């Protein structure tokens, strides 16, 4: 019962009827600030442990609660003893002399030996969990994760052509995994150090340029869970959030292909397709469509404009320049911006680039 105090409410599932009013009110607030990053999918109390949704959660939480209980016990013992001695040995008169006290060998031995044993218990317990969480079981689902300022790209070697990105706009789906199957992430960064953190799974590891790091987990609950970048990586670090969706294994493959393959729908205009690409492939992380410049120039009113470049020359922002900027972004950088856009060579094909250009044309 005490433990339930430390457990987050079951919020990945449907809210109970009584909470519906509150949920609606929250939805109104969210709608009012549509420009802000999406709210986290799990709500959590600051004093509670996050939702538990992987096989690691129970072990990790048990160790955490053990350490917290130990801390509490020693806090009470030490503060209690201190208060008691302050009272017992208080100065009783102005000319009172301090009595001569040497030491107690037994007490000194105990206050060294007991903490040593307790720390060894914590170390061995933590080490066992660490080893178990470091080595994935045989035949996991392989996932490739790339971090870059300021979004995630997720690819599945077993499903070529499938690619998911984090986005501050809907759909925010970033990683999709089946329930009850081990998943191994192999991660790297194209620029600075990021860190991949899914609190509900209790997994967190740095994502480092020039090297691969790995984590694995096995999800135990259907639902949507928060993903954070948890290493300060620059201006829009706080936008580098995402959603991890856990599905029944039977639905996983079908849903993944539906969500991860970006093709023009039947009857969809090029511009509308381009807008989906803008939201789904990370463009939105740096280019606004409302005229406010971010890390890159806003796309509003950009098409046809003459841009001054950082090398002093100028260029008209039309099809050729936009296409070049997508494939070789740091060749002709607009004056006032840092050359830090990643190349989309191999990530967007010709027709997708055309769609993006058509979308930009509509942003007058
Ligand atoms: Cu990426 Cu913080």
How much distance in Å is there from the Cα of 84 to the middle of ligand 1?
49
- pLDDT at position 305 is 87
How far apart CA 283 and CA 153 sit, in angstroms, is 12
Return the number of other C-beta atoms located less than 10 Å from residue 340's C-beta.
16
User: Could you say which DSSP state residue 296 is in?
Assistant: S
CA of 103 to the centre of ligand 1 (A): 53
Same domain as 276, residue 253: no
> Does residue 319 lie in a domain region?
yes
- In ligand 1, which atom is closest to the CA atom of 238? 2
Of the residues 230, 260, 290, which one is the last residue of a structural domain? 260
CB of 12 within 8 A of CB of 224?
A: yes
Q: What is the pLDDT of residue 169?
A: 67
CA of 160 to the centre of ligand 1 (A): 26
pLDDT digits (tens, 9 = 90+) for 29-82: 434 333 455 555 776 677 888 889 999 999 999 999 999 999 999 999 999 999
CA of 165 relative to ligand 1 center, distance in Å: 14
Span from the CA of 232 to the centroid of ligand 1 (angstroms): 5
- Calpha distance 30→5 (Å, rounded): 28
Query: Looking at the domain assignment, is residue 68 inside a domain?
Result: no
Q: Output the pLDDT for position 279.
A: 81
Same domain, 167 and 235: yes
Query: What are 269-288's pLDDT values in tens digits?
Result: 888 889 888 887 778 878 88
pLDDT at 335: 87
pLDDT at residue 9 greater than cutoff 50: no
* Phi, psi for residue 282 in degrees, rounded to 5: 90, -10
1 domain residue, yes or no: no
> Cα separation of 203 and 175, whole Å?
14
254 in the same domain as 146? yes
CA of 167 to the centre of ligand 1 (A): 13
The answer to whether the beta carbons of residues 12 and 53 sit under 8 Å apart is yes
Q: Could you tell me if residue 193 is inside a domain?
A: yes
Q: Is residue 110 in a domain? A: no
**What's the structural domain count of the chain?**
2
Ligand 1 atom index nearest CA of 150: 1
Q: Which atom of ligand 1 is nearest to the CA of 240?
A: 1
- Looking at 222, 237, 260, the residue that finishes a domain is 260
Claim to verify: residue 208 and residue 277 sit in the same structural domain? no
Q: Which amino acid residue places its CA nearest to atom 1 of ligand 1?
A: 194
Ligand 1 contacts CB of residue 144 (under 6 A): no
- Mean per-residue pLDDT of the chain: 84
Q: Which residue has the higher pLDDT, 360 or 10?
A: 360
Same domain, 228 and 310: no
Where is 331: in which H helix or E strand? none
Query: Domain range for residue 149?
Result: 141-260
Q: For residue 224, what are the CA distances in angstroms to 2, 13, 47, 227, 231?
A: 27, 9, 21, 10, 22
Q: What is the pLDDT of residue 176?
A: 93
Indicate if 295 and 187 belong to the same structural domain. Answer: no
Q: Domain with 229 in it: what CATH number?
A: 2.60.40.420
Ligand 1 pocket residue status of 194, Cβ below 6 Å: yes
Q: Are residues 147 and 215 in the same domain?
A: yes
State if residue 237 touches ligand 1 by the CB under 6 angstroms criterion: yes
Distance 85 CA to ligand 1 centre (A): 50
The CB density around residue 298, as the number of other CB atoms within 10 Å, is 16
Q: Does 224 reside within a domain?
A: yes
Residue 247 sits in the same domain as residue 283: no
Domain end (from 199, 225, 260): 260
Considering the domain architecture, whether residues 253 and 303 belong to the same structural domain is answered as no
User: Quick one: pLDDT band at residue 292, thresholds 50, 70, 90?
Assistant: confident
Residue 3: inside a domain: no
- Confidence check: pLDDT of 15 > 80: no
pTM metric for this prediction: 0.72
pLDDT in tens, 120-150: 999 999 999 999 999 999 999 999 999 988 8
CATH at 316 = 1.10.760.10
Query: How many angstroms separate the CA atoms of 355 and 131, rounded?
Result: 48
User: What pLDDT was estimated at residue 12?
Assistant: 41
Chain segment 197-223, per-residue pLDDT in tens: 999 999 999 999 999 999 999 999 999
d(CA 145, CA 333): 27
227 with 313, same domain: the answer is no
276 and 252 within one domain? no
Q: Note whether residue 303 is domain-resident.
A: yes
Task: Dig out the tokens for 121 from the structure.
Answer: 């218990």
- Atom number in ligand 1 closest to CA 232: 2
pLDDT of residue 171: 61
Q: Are residues 216 and 283 in the same domain?
A: no
Cα 44–chain centre separation: 15
Could you tell me if the CB of 229 is within 6 A of ligand 1?
yes
């Amino acid at each position: 019962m005490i433990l339930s105090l430390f457990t987050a409410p079951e919020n990945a599932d449907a809210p109970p009827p009584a909470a519906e009013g509150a949920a609606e009110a929250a939805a109104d607030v969210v709608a009012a600030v549509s420009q802000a990053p999406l709210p986290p999918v799990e709500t959590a109390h600051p004093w509670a442990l996050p939702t538990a949704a992987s096989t690691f959660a129970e072990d990790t939480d048990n160790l955490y609660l053990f350490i917290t209980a130990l801390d509490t016990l020693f806090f009470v013992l030490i503060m209690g003893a201190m208060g008691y001695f302050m009272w017992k040995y208080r100065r009783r008169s102005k000319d009172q002399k301090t009595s001569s006290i040497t030491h107690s060998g037994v007490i000194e031995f105990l206050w060294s030996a007991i903490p040593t044993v307790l720390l060894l218990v914590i170390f061995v317990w933590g080490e066992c969990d660490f080893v178990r969480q470091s080595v994935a079981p045989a035949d996991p689902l392989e996932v490739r994760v790339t971090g870059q300022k300021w979004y995630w790209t997720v690819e599945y070697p077993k499903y070529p052509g499938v690619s998911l990105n984090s986005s501050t706009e809907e759909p925010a789906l970033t990683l999709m995994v089946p329930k009850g199957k081990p998943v191994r992430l192999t991660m790297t960064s194209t620029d600075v150090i990021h860190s991949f953190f899914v609190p509900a799974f209790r997994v967190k590891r740095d994502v480092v340029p020039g090297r691969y790091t790995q984590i694995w987990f096995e999800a135990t609950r259907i639902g949507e869970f928060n993903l954070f970048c948890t290493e300060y990586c620059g201006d829009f670090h706080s936008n580098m959030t995402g959603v991890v969706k856990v599905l029944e294994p039977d639905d996983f493959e079908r849903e993944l292909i539906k969500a991860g393959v970006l093709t023009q729908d039947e009857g969809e205009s090029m511009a509308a397709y381009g807008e989906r690409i803008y939201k789904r492939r990370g463009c939105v992380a740096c280019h606004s469509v409302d005229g406010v410049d971010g890390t890159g120039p806003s796309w509003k009113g950009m098409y046809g404009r003459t841009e001054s470049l950082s090398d002093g020359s100028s260029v008209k922002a039309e099809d050729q320049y936009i296409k070049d900027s997508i494939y070789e972004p740091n060749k002709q950088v607009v004056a006032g911006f840092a050359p830090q856009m990643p190349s989309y060579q191999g990530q967007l094909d010709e027709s997708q680039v055309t769609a993006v250009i058509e979308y930009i044309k509509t942003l007058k």
